[in-house]
Amino acid sequence: MLRIESVLGSRSDPAMHEAIHHLEHHHAVEFVTVAVGDLDRRRLMARTDKGEEVAITLPRDQKLHDGAVLVLDHHRAVIVRAGEQRWLRFTPRSASDALELGYHAGNLHWRVRFDGEDLLVAQDGQASAYAARIEQLISGGRVEMSEEAE
């Protein structure tokens, strides 16, 4: 088991980029995919794409992120890759429906983005669980919901 106790930097850091690029040519770069919802954790168990178990324990002032470099030496690099974030698209029929949808989204602490007249909600769990929270809006045809990947 590989134990990680700090983030060394980001793969985009100029100082690291060159070393990682060199290791890529030798197929010595491994990735640890971490679900978006788990990136805020300071402690988690994960596995590299080559199958090695990784126990991550970070200081409180550090966080994981897409491209976080966990190991970088002359032999290999281990880098975090953020998992796919799925989004739910909510399309309200009218301004008043949008107002009500916005109220519920805030009250439910959903993470949102705006896309024109649509509301995008970061999906963490089954879509049906989100639909159930605003069932009256959806069954009444006031808001349409669809799923999409990032």
Partner 1 sequence: MDTRTSTHSPSPSRVGAARIGIGGPVGSGKTALIERLIPAFAARGVSLAIVTNDLVTAEDAERIRRSGLIDPARVAAVEAGACPHTVIREDPTLNIAAADDLEALFPDVELILIESGGDNLASTFSLDLVDWWMFVIDVAGGDDIPRKNGPGVLKCDLLVVNKTDLAPYVGVDLAAMAAQAATARAGRPMALTNCRSNEGVDAIADRIVSDVLFR
The residue ranges that bind partner 1 (CB under 8 A) are 1-9, 15-16, 19, 40-45, 55, 57-62, 69, 71-74, 109, 124-126, 129, 132
Nearer to partner 1, 15 or 95 (CB): 15
Residue 112 is inside which H or E element, if any?
Answer: strand 112-115
Q: Given the complex with partner 1, which of 8 and 118 has the nearer CB atom?
A: 8
To partner 1, the closest distance from the beta carbon of 67 in angstroms equals 14
- The least CB distance from residue 98 to partner 1, in Å, is 24
Contact 26, 76 (CB under 8 A): no
> Residue 117's CB: how many other CB atoms inside 10 A?
11
Q: How far is the CB of 93 from partner 1 (least distance, A)?
A: 26
Q: Are 95 and 80 in contact (CB under 8 A)?
A: no
Asked if 30 and 78 count as a contact pair (C-beta separation under 8 A), the reply is yes
